[in-house]
Structure 1
Amino acid sequence: MHDEAKVKRSTMPKDTGYNDPFHVACIMDGNGRWAQQRGRRRLVGHYVGAQRVRDIVKACPDAGVTHLTIFAFSTENWKRTQSEVGGLMRLFRRYIIHEAKALLEAGVRVRFIGDRIRLEDTLVSLMDELELLTAGNSKLHLTIAINYGGRDEVTRAAQRLAVEIEQGRLTHKDVDAECLARFLDTRFLPDPDLVIRTSGEARISNFLLWQSAYAEYEFIDTLWPDFTPEEFNRVVSRFGKRERRFGGVTA
């Protein structure tokens, strides 16, 4: 059971002076539909959605958000058409190249989670370079999930854990929730406090399954390209009014 201090945490840091990390995760849904509603190709929506990421990143510090994790491409998204997948990969490369300087100057530390094996070498190199470039920043921790799936992440973590046991560095008695978490892609992150999904869909789509056990969820009707910093701030403010008990009870 969580300790009393954690149970009492129920409002966002901006309102209370609480100094612990405040982590918001976003499932950025609705880019394709946004474009189709306007008679445009789905990729146009993804490019507009990438511009929206820039706006939300800028809004985070004033909202008291220290960690932002965004779901950019899932392990299931490979099922989309080759043209859309190829366009998304070009968009990821373009985003890294064009945003690197601004992210560095804004104090944003960027890291990526997901299985990089299937990604092209050029993109992986750009990801590595951006992580290294921004490694000294701490104003906002931006984590981008590419070729990421929650079940895939836990499976890969279990495989790495099994290797440690096979090689004698761990025993089965060492394995508990805390131990397994050290093998997850997100081992450097606090668990998310709030998960936002845009576009009106009310499902979690294999995103941060382990980490979101006690996260609060907001399912927003707005499509991601229309999700403004103002609406983001309203959602974060609503989170501040929730009582989070983490399985405990209030006095």
Structure 2
Amino acid sequence: MSTLAAPIPMPAGMPEGPRHVAIIMDGNGRWAKARGMPRTAGHRRGVETVRATVRAAGELGIEYLTLFGFSTENWKRPLDEVNFLMGLLRQYLRAELETLAKEGARLRVVGDRDGLAADIVDMIKTAEERTRANARIHVSIALNYGGRADIVQAAQRLATAVAQGKLAPAAIDEDMLEGCLLTRDLPELDMLIRTGGEQRISNFLLWQSAYTELVFTNALWPDFSKADLEHAIAEFRRRERRYGAVAG
């Protein structure tokens, strides 16, 4: 785990990648506070960064990008802020759909949709269907998502199958549980970036992060740039991923 600083050169012979990158987009509120603005101004600027980051990820060859948009814990925030965030989500889905479609981006949402407003769920379905055939970059937005809840719902699905006599408990393995997660259609998570200087994963993709490379940057999310993403990729490529084995 590291904090990004100067560019890190990629050693000769290191593998390419990452293929799948996730980002915890942290620091909107602090960005706004430092400028004497309301927190909502930081969130609005953060949406612009989402737009730029999706484009940059595609240009840098990232195939899958997963963004932590709204967690199950974010409902604890002030109601006015939650309502503003939901409004921004509506604006993003309306404004960006055609751009994503034209740029070959497939959009999908992972999380508990039962907790979202009906019109937002309808907009998500429309966006997913409109971009389903795209394959240049797969963009997943985690909404009303929690890593622990994801594992619990997967365990419940397996427990139901056992109770119905369709599955033997001894047959349950890691692959089977992973196949019940909300992210089951996504490949292995290679790198998780967190902006804003904090060094924790905040209940995001807990199962999926078992062997993920963690990269932390002090850049607040509204300031996160293509150069910061390039720094993170360079950091990823200089690491040796051993998955518990001993280095050769």
Under a length normalisation based on structure 2, what TM-score does the superposition of the two structures give? 0.92
Is 1:145 aligned to residue 149 of structure 2? no
Residue 7 of structure 2 corresponds to none
Please report how far the alpha carbon of residue 169 of structure 1 lies from its aligned counterpart in structure 2 after TM superposition: 2.1
Moved more, 97-106 or 37-46: 37-46
Under a length normalisation based on structure 1, what TM-score does the superposition of the two structures give? 0.91
Say which of 233, 236, 245 aligns to 2:233. 236
Aligned partner of residue 240 in structure 1, secondary structure: helix
Aligned partner of residue 154 in structure 1, secondary structure: helix
Match for 2:177: what amino acid?
A: L
Question: What does 1:62-101 align with in structure 2 at a 5 Å threshold?
Answer: 62-101=59-98
Render the CA deviation track for 1:106-143: whole Å, top value 9, x for unaligned: 11111111111111100011111111111101110101
Confirm or deny: 8 A CA contact 1:29 1:199 kept in the other structure.
Answer: yes
Residue 182 of structure 1 corresponds to 179
Q: CA RMSD in A?
A: 1.3
CA–CA distance in structure 2, aligned partners of residues 248 and 10 of structure 1: 18
CA–CA distance in structure 2, aligned partners of residues 12 and 76 of structure 1: 35
CA–CA distance in structure 2, aligned partners of residues 203 and 184 of structure 1: 21
Aligned length: 236
Aligned partner of residue 114 in structure 2, secondary structure: coil
Match for 1:162: what amino acid?
A: A
CA–CA distance in structure 2, aligned partners of residues 72 and 10 of structure 1: 32
Residue 166 of structure 1 corresponds to 163
Is 1:206 aligned to residue 210 of structure 2? no
Match for 1:226: what amino acid?
A: D
Is 1:33 aligned to residue 30 of structure 2? yes
Match for 1:127: what amino acid?
A: I
Please report how far the alpha carbon of residue 10 of structure 1 lies from its aligned counterpart in structure 2 after TM superposition: 5.8
Render the CA deviation track for 1:10-51: whole Å, top value 9, x for unaligned: 6333xxxxxxx7001000000111111111111111111011
Residue 58 of structure 2 corresponds to 61
Say which of 201, 216, 224 aligns to 1:227. 224
Residue 117 of structure 2 corresponds to 120
CA–CA distance in structure 2, aligned partners of residues 63 and 249 of structure 1: 31
Say which of 151, 164, 175 aligns to 1:154. 151
CA–CA distance in structure 1, aligned partners of residues 182 and 241 of structure 2: 25
Question: What does 1:42-57 align with in structure 2 at a 5 Å threshold?
Answer: 42-57=39-54
Is 1:11 aligned to residue 15 of structure 2? yes
Confirm or deny: 8 A CA contact 1:11 1:239 kept in the other structure.
Answer: no
Moved more, 61-70 or 130-139: 61-70
Show structure 1 runs of 4+ deviating over 2 A.
Answer: 9-13
Query: Identity over aligned residues, as a percent?
Result: 47
Confirm or deny: 8 A CA contact 1:194 1:215 kept in the other structure.
Answer: yes
Confirm or deny: 8 A CA contact 1:59 1:229 kept in the other structure.
Answer: yes
Instruction: Give ranges in structure 1 of 5+ residues lacking alignment.
Output: 1-8, 14-20
Instruction: Give ranges in structure 2 of 5+ residues lacking alignment.
Output: 1-12
